[in-house]
C-alpha cells in the first residue's frame, strides 16, 4: 500500500474516498503534522497504482482488511484514524472490527458502500437523478474510467447544489 508520511508524534492514519488517493490530504498535512505523525494512504487500486478494473477486489471488506494489515504493520498499538467519504466508512469498519487498533476515530462525511455488503434499508427514498448518476459513476469505476466517474460525480454535486442542498462558493461553475 502506497503512503505518504510526514511529521512526528502520535500516528494519525488518513484514508481517502473513492476517487481519491494519498494526495487527497495534501492541504491539511502541514497543520496536522505539527502534532502528529500523519500517514496518508492510497487504497488498493488507487494512485500510484494503475488499475485495469480486472478482478473483484475493489470491495469494502478488502479495503478494511488492507487497512487493518497496514495499521498492524505501521504501529504495534492503536492509531488515530481519520477517513473521508468512502474512507470514513472504511475507518468506521476498521474500528468496528478491531477496536484495539484505534485510539481516536474521525469520520468526515462517511460514505456508504459501493458494494452489496451494506444494503440500502427498505423504504429508503433516493434522489432519483442523483442516484442514477451514482450508479453510472460506479459502472465507470468498475470499467476503469476513474476520470469519467469523477466528472459525473462532480456534475451530480452541482445539480444538487442548484437544487438548494449545498451553496456553491465563488469560482464554482455550473453547466
The string of pLDDT tens digits covering residues 5-63 is 999 999 999 999 888 888 898 899 999 999 999 999 998 877 767 766 666 766 888 89
Of 28-32, 121-125, 142-146, 159-163, the one with minimum mean pLDDT is: 159-163
Whether 10 and 85 share a structural domain? yes
- We report the CATH number of the domain holding residue 38 as 3.40.50.1820
> Would you state the pLDDT for residue 102?
97
Distance from C-alpha of 1 to C-alpha of 117, rounded to nearest angstrom: 23
> In the predicted model, is pLDDT for residue 163 greater than 50?
no
Mean pLDDT in residue range 1-6: 90
Instruction: Decide if 175 is inside a domain.
Output: no
pTM of the model: 0.66
How far, in Å, are 34, 51, 100 from residue 85 at the CA level? 24, 21, 23
Tell me whether strands 36-41 and 3-6 are parallel, antiparallel or unpaired: antiparallel
Angle at 101 between CA 96 and CA 107, to 5 degrees: 55
> Would you state the pLDDT for residue 156?
46
What kind and span of H or E run contains 104? strand 102-108
Using an 8 Å Cβ cutoff, are 15 and 90 in contact? yes
Instruction: Decide if 105 is inside a domain.
Output: yes
Instruction: Decide if 173 is inside a domain.
Output: no
Whether 55 and 133 share a structural domain? no
> In the predicted model, is pLDDT for residue 174 greater than 60?
no
Amino acid at each position: 500500500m502506497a503512503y505518504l508520511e510526514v511529521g512526528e508524534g502520535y500516528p494519525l492514519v488518513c484514508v481517502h474516498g473513492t476517487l481519491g488517493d494519498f494526495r487527497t490530504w495534501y492541504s491539511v498535512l502541514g497543520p496536522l503534522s505539527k502534532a502528529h505523525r500523519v500517514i496518508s494512504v492510497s487504497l488498493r487500486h488507487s494512485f500510484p497504482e494503475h488499475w485495469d478494473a480486472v478482478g473483484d477486489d475493489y470491495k469494502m471488506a478488502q479495503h478494511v482488511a488492507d487497512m487493518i494489515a497496514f495499521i498492524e504493520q505501521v504501529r504495534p498499538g492503536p492509531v488515530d484514524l481519520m477517513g473521508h467519504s468512502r474512507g470514513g466508512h472504511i475507518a468506521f469498519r476498521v474500528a468496528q472490527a478491531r477496536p484495539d487498533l484505534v485510539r481516536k476515530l474521525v469520520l468526515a462525511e462517511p460514505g456508504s458502500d459501493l458494494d452489496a455488503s451494506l444494503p440500502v434499508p427498505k423504504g429508503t427514498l433516493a434522489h432519483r437523478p442523483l442516484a442514477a448518476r451514482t450508479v453510472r459513476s460506479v459502472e465507470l469505476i468498475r470499467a476503469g474510467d476513474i476520470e469519467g466517474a469523477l466528472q459525473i460525480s462532480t456534475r451530480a454535486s452541482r445539480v444538487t447544489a442548484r437544487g438548494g442542498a449545498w451553496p456553491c462558493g465563488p469560482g464554482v461553475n455550473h453547466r
